[in-house]
Structure 1
Amino acid sequence: MKTIYLILTIIFAFFIVTFSQFNSEVVKIKYYFIDDINVPVYMLIFVALLAGVIIAGFFGVVERFRLNRTISRLNRTIRDLKKELRANEQPPVVDQAQKN
């Protein structure tokens, strides 16, 4: 598994390096009051990708917290229902004839 991870990491790094070499042209960014900023195309794409990963990760964390809260609530309901079931259970009847 470590070998596969290493190979995939090397391929991904190679892709990043070649992508940045082929897309090194400069793009001028204008946004409201910010002065013109010159940024390479690959940097703009990587920043957009990073922003997407961060936003998706944030939503994933929020969803995980919501699911953990739901699981806790359902486990509490199960525990309460089991207690109620035990409280309403009739004790076993022992036949005196079998005991002697």
Structure 2
Amino acid sequence: MKLLYTIIIMLCVLFVITFSLDNTETVNLSYYGFIDVTVQAYLLLFVSFGIGVIFAGFFGIAERWRLSRKVAGLNRRIRKLEEQISRGNASTEGEEIQAQDYRE
């Protein structure tokens, strides 16, 4: 499996190098007179891609944090129900346990 990862990484590096060598044209970036920069096309694409990866990472971190809070709340609920069962306060067949909604 490690060999497969190495091959995939090598192919990605080869793609980046060949893409960079083939797209060396310069691009003029301007924004209402505030920004006037000339950069190479491959650099513009790589920077844009990198910024997108960073934003996606932040959204992934936020989603993971939200889910971990939800799991913690559900674990607290499980502990509470297990304590009720161990004390003998478990609900009978006719009673329903009121479930809390942990969606946030």
Give TM-score scaled by structure 2 length: 0.80
**How many angstroms apart in 2 are the aligned matches of 1:84 and 1:8?**
53
**How many angstroms apart in 2 are the aligned matches of 1:86 and 1:9?**
54
**Residue number in structure 1 paired with 2:48:** 48
**Residue number in structure 2 paired with 1:94:** none
| 1:44-94 C-alpha deviation (Å, 9 max, x unpaired) | 0001100110000000000001100100100010000110111126xxxxx
**How many angstroms apart in 2 are the aligned matches of 1:73 and 1:10?**
43
* SS of match in other structure, 1:24: coil
* SS of match in other structure, 1:29: strand
Runs of 5+ consecutive residues of structure 1 not aligned to the other structure: 90-100
**Residue number in structure 2 paired with 1:57:** 57
- Number of aligned residue pairs: 88
Write out the 4+ residue segments of structure 1 that deviate beyond 4 Å after TM superposition: none
**Residue number in structure 2 paired with 1:78:** 78
Runs of 5+ consecutive residues of structure 2 not aligned to the other structure: 90-104
After the TM superposition, which residues 14-25 of structure 1 pair with which residues of structure 2 at under 5 Å, given as runs? 14-25=14-25
**Residue number in structure 2 paired with 1:39:** 39
Bigger fraction of residues in helix: 1
Residue identity over aligned pairs, in percent, reads: 45
Give TM-score scaled by structure 1 length: 0.83
Question: What value does the CA root-mean-square deviation take over the aligned residues?
Answer: 1.0
| 1:3-50 C-alpha deviation (Å, 9 max, x unpaired) | 11111111101100111111110000002312x211000000001100
